[in-house]
A and B are shown apart, each in its own frame.
Chain A
Amino acid sequence: MDFNFQAMIQAIIYSVRYLGTTLEVSFAALVIGVVFGLIIALLRYYNVVVLSPVFQTLTTIFKGVPVVLIFLALYLFFSTGFDPMAKSMGWSIRFKQINPIWIAVICLGIMAVVNGTEIFRGAFSSVRKGQLDAAQSIGMTRMQTIRRVLLPQAVPVAVPVFGNLLINLIKASALCSMVGVVDIFSAATISGQQSYTFLEAYVGVALIYWAVVALIEQASGLLERGLTVHTRRAVA
């Protein structure tokens, strides 16, 4: 069989215009994951009553479900359940007016929060507990301890793992097409359909993913080095 390089180049040129969408969705999900992941991890670290077990259960539920199912379930919920709910709440907005990109952001956001919680929990456990006693014995409040002791030590540990999460989110964002968002993956499919050169289109979009992922890995490595320069261990 022939591999049509021309078609591949065309697919890349066509798809790359939608790179913005892919990155937007992924970064938005990452931000959601960092913010809510941090909050939930702190609630669980300090074993806050009610909230800690509630989030623990939610995390367990969502961790055990493929992201594809979250996309499908949420899309079904929105497409059938949103309008009646909006009516009963007296909102004027209807399902058709919702940009499907939000559904994609929520789905990937759930994946990011579940992972982000675990990332922060792991990073917190790398901070030796005696330091929290020390902070408390000094009379520092919990917020002061979090800000001045816990986070400065946990963040450098968490950053490279979040770099990994971002890479996974970018790859998972290919599922966006399921809810009608045009990202680089669905753009490649469209481009392939036009000249019936699917393989070329998919190889082309794979190259885009590779390039983006390689860039993120580089950036995450640089960020990591910048963050740990002050605390790099002389002895392990």
Chain B
Amino acid sequence: MMKIRGIRKAFGKQQVLNGVDMDVDDGEVVVILGSSGSGKTTFLRCLNFLEQADEGHIDLDDSHIDVKSSSKKDVLDYQRKTAMVFQNYALFNNKTALENIAMPMIATGKAGKAEADRRAEELIDKVGLSERKDFYPSQLSGGQQQRIGIARALALDPKVTLFDEPTSALDPELVGQVLGLLRDIANAGATMILVTHEMKFAYEIADKVVFMDKGVVLEQGTPQDIFEHPKHQRTQEFLSRFTSQLEHA
């Protein structure tokens, strides 16, 4: 169970997050929707401490973080319970596909070299890229890179995995393979917070849909609640732009 309370973040005078609360149950898939500039990505980055939020509390497992006052060690400890998948994959270019998955486990002391390699082999098999394990990121397609990026995140056995628009940089024909993998991971019981613009996919995969606007959570509920009976005008406007995508749902 993850409990997020009152996350606030400003860049200079620009207040990006105005106190975001969120509860995420174990095994739950939360999809965050919102137009660009609504603070979705910043929120994810704050949850991973890639950005230091100005205020807020996060409880995850036995980590109780006050973003203002928690010690570096507590933050690092918390950070290692989370993992993030990036829009632009962000693989380590000097490492092979397999090393990209194994190295974080070794660096964070979660496994020795042999154990890390064994687990990395397992994961790379799971994402269907065994035959490419010795390739460098520059030799892989976007979809393949993102599948390695997902395997790298899973390798850390995170309590919660954050996905920041994992398919938005991909060619349309490659989106499917990544979405398929995300579906498998969700079905396997992973706790996920996902920012995406794939509405049909969001509808199918989400246990809870959160709509963010201007740095706050405007409304949240089941996919049926949000997609079929949105209460707020902003939510309705936002979703109307995606009706063509949803009609095929």
Residues of chain A touching chain B, judged by Cβ–Cβ distance below 8 Å, are 127-128, 130-131, 133-141, 144, 148-149, 152-153, 230-231, 233-235
Contacts and interface: CB of A to CB of B under 8 A. Distances in A.
B90 A153 contact: no
A235 B86 contact: no
B137 to A, nearest CB: 9
B107 A137 contact: no
A125 to B, nearest CB: 14
B244 interface: no
A41 B200 CA distance: 47
B90 A131 contact: yes
A152 B92 CA distance: 10
B86 A133 contact: yes
Interface string B92-133: 111000000001100110000000000000000000000000
Interface string B77-95: 0011011101011111110
B92 A149 contact: yes
16 contacts: A128-B90, A128-B93, A130-B88, A130-B90, A133-B90, A134-B84, A134-B86, A134-B91, A136-B49, A137-B83, A138-B83, A139-B104, A140-B108, A153-B93, A153-B94, A231-B138
Contacts of A133: 50, 84, 86, 90
Contacts of A148: 92, 103, 107
A235 B138 contact: yes
4 nearest CB pairs, A to B: A130-B90, A139-B80, A134-B90, A137-B84
A149 B106 CA distance: 14
Contacts of A230: 94, 136
Nearest to A140: B107
Contacts of B104: 138-140
A139 B138 contact: no
Given A140-B104, A231-B136, A134 B80 contact: no
Contacts of A131: 90-93
A230 B89 CA distance: 20
Given A133-B50, A136-B49, A234-B139, A141 B90 contact: no
A235 to B, nearest CB: 6
Contacts of B90: 128, 130-131, 133-134
